[in-house]
Amino acid sequence: MMQQLQETTSYLQHRIGSFAPEFGIILGTGLGALVNDIEVEYSISYAEIPNFPVSTVESHSGKLIFGRLAERPVVVMQGRFHYYEGYSMEQVVFPVRVMKLLGVKKLFVSNAAGGLNPAFNTSDLMVITDHINLQPSNPLIGKNLDELGPRFPDMSDVYNEELIRQAMVIAEDADFDLREGVYVSVPGPMLETPAEYKYLSIIGADAVGMSTVPEVIAARHMGMPVFAVSVITDMCTPDRIKKVVLADILEAAAIAEPRMTRLIKELVRIQ
């Protein structure tokens, strides 16, 4: 694995020359428009990158973007990988590990999620303050990569409190609501049953999705501070469950996207 990571990192360093990204950004379902705010210097298809998986989800573009957001150097995953696509956990988090080897110091993650908290509404933004991992595995299973991090990384402060505090100030200044809550990650790809939604709420989750937690675990293993935000694309409380199709999720994400873009852009600016 380290050999593959180093091979991929060397390839990308050759492609981007002296460009040195400080921030990594992962864009979730329907949230790819942040790229429009980036001064793009390099755009590389996942298919061109050695050892990289390729996105199979129709709403994920599958490009690694290098450029400047708010005049700060960033690398952006326009499209992520999911366990439900058939990839191993090591493949899912491979790009995050490459980001670290490229010199990225902080990771920003977005996703689309179902709302379990009855106080939420469709197209709300929720800053993730903690998570519950219900994926069938995690990227640290197996031989530890000592070059990346310790065998038993602490997870008591996964989501950076200072970044969360800054995000709340940005939202207040911009006059939009920013929820806070716990995100639960499930395997998917099917959406949950009403009984499962009830169970997830009982165990303490405010939103449910099929991503994010593996990448965050890998990032924290490597000591990278993390900020993550969910766009609530459908409500999963008993009185508001309805059949959901991808078009509905993309529509809800599009409504929230300008706020999410502003939030991440301003966070990057002030780091």
**Could you say which DSSP state residue 135 is in?**
S
Tens digit of each residue's pLDDT (9 = 90 or more) over 139-191? 999 999 999 999 999 999 999 999 999 999 999 999 999 999 999 999 999 99
pLDDT of 134 > 90? The answer is yes
Cα(26)–Cα(49) distance, integer angstroms = 17
pLDDT of 57 > 70? The answer is no
Average pLDDT value for residue range 116-121 = 97
Beta-sheet strands, E only, within the chain: 23-27, 39-45, 63-69, 72-78, 106-115, 125-133, 179-185, 207-209, 226-235
Tens digit of each residue's pLDDT (9 = 90 or more) over 9-42? 999 999 999 999 999 999 987 777 888 999 999 9
Sequence-distant (6+) residues with CB within 8 A of 125 are 171, 176, 177, 178, 179, 229, 230, 231, 232, 256, 259, 260, 263
Q: Taking the domains of the chain in order of start, what are their residue ranges?
A: 2-270
Cα(252)–Cα(115) distance, integer angstroms = 12
Instruction: Specify the range with the lowest mean pLDDT, choosing from 13-17, 58-62, 127-131.
Output: 58-62
DSSP, residue by residue, 212-248: SHHHHHHHHHTT--EEEEEEEEEE-STTT-----HHH
CA angle 145, 150, 153 (to 5 degrees): 120
CATH class of the domain at 2-270 = alpha beta
pLDDT at position 245, please? Answer: 85
pLDDT at position 242, please? Answer: 87
Q: In the numeric block, which tokens belong to residue 115?
A: 């709302």
